[in-house]
Amino acid sequence: MSGKEEKTAGILGGMGPEATVDLMQRIIALTPALDDADHIRCIVDNNPKVPSRIKAIIEGQGEDPGPCMADMGKRLETWGADFLVIACNTAHHYYPAVRDAVGIPVIHLVGLVTDHLIRACPGHKNIGILASPAVAMTGLYTEKFAPKGLVDIWPDEAHQAQMLDVIKSVKKGDTGPKVVAQYQAVCRHLAQKGATLVVVACTELSALDSDLPVEAVDAAQVLAREIVDVAKNKKSISTYDADE
């Protein structure tokens, strides 16, 4: 591939489907385009049949999503993707399975967000995380934050259960006022625990697109910008994976 040619993004999606569509809309909105041909090529496997991450991580039962995601990555590579992204924070628990299955770079969303916080939000050290309880259980953000001197702040058990209810509601298509109010209440709770900034670290919450009472960084928006910049050769590919 010539260095001047645009790169093709491969997206492991379907976790969930609406969140994947939301990511695609963000990519389109961030792409400077005067015509169809100015947009970047994305190959998307919007696969809602990936085994449940919640069942595997929270409930400790069910099929391992890793092999399915690895197969998706291999197919996307075969179909012409130059780099891969996983459109789900929780699913990054299975990032190594995808990374090790392919011969192209796989951008680590949590690593990317951590890098963004260090560069774009240097005044913030105590970061609230709005995410599925499964993300908290995996320690994904703690693993990336700690070496950079950042502290991840999580909701208490009651508010974490409330957060899971919000995520499940969005998956069902419910983004009404009651769901939004629950979401904002969890955000205020994180601020009370000392968070000066929150990361929207679940693509379902990104799809909810609610104004929050605390300064926020949306992981989906950071990922969409990275996809566009890499595909347009505005920056070189970095996986943001310390274990690479």
In tens digits, the chain (244 residues) has pLDDT values of: 344 699 999 999 999 898 899 999 999 999 999 999 999 999 999 999 999 998 999 888 889 999 999 999 999 999 999 999 999 999 999 999 999 999 999 999 999 999 999 999 999 999 999 999 999 999 999 999 999 999 999 999 999 999 999 999 988 989 999 999 999 999 999 999 999 999 999 988 988 877 899 999 999 999 999 999 999 999 999 999 976 5
Q: What's the pLDDT score for residue 171?
A: 86
Burial class (CB in 10 A: 0-12, 13-18, 19+), 155: buried
> Alpha-carbon distance 216 to 200, whole Å?
7
- Tell which phi-psi region holds residue 240, choosing left (phi > 0), alpha (psi between -120 and 50) or beta: left
Q: What's the pLDDT score for residue 46?
A: 98
Q: What's the pLDDT score for residue 1?
A: 39
The answer to whether 9-109+221-231 and 110-219 have equal CATH topology is: yes
110-219 — its CATH code? Answer: 3.40.50.1860
The one catalytic residue in 42, 88, 121, 187 is 88
Other Cβ atoms within 10 Å of 73 Cβ, number: 24
> Alpha-carbon distance 95 to 80, whole Å?
20
Tell me the whole-structure pTM to 2 decimals: 0.93
The residue type at 101: A
> Alpha-carbon distance 237 to 209, whole Å?
28
9-109+221-231 — its CATH code? Answer: 3.40.50.1860
Is 202 among the residues known to form the active site? yes
Is 121 among the residues known to form the active site? no
User: Would you kindly state where each structural domain of the chain is located, as residue ranges?
Assistant: 9-109+221-231, 110-219
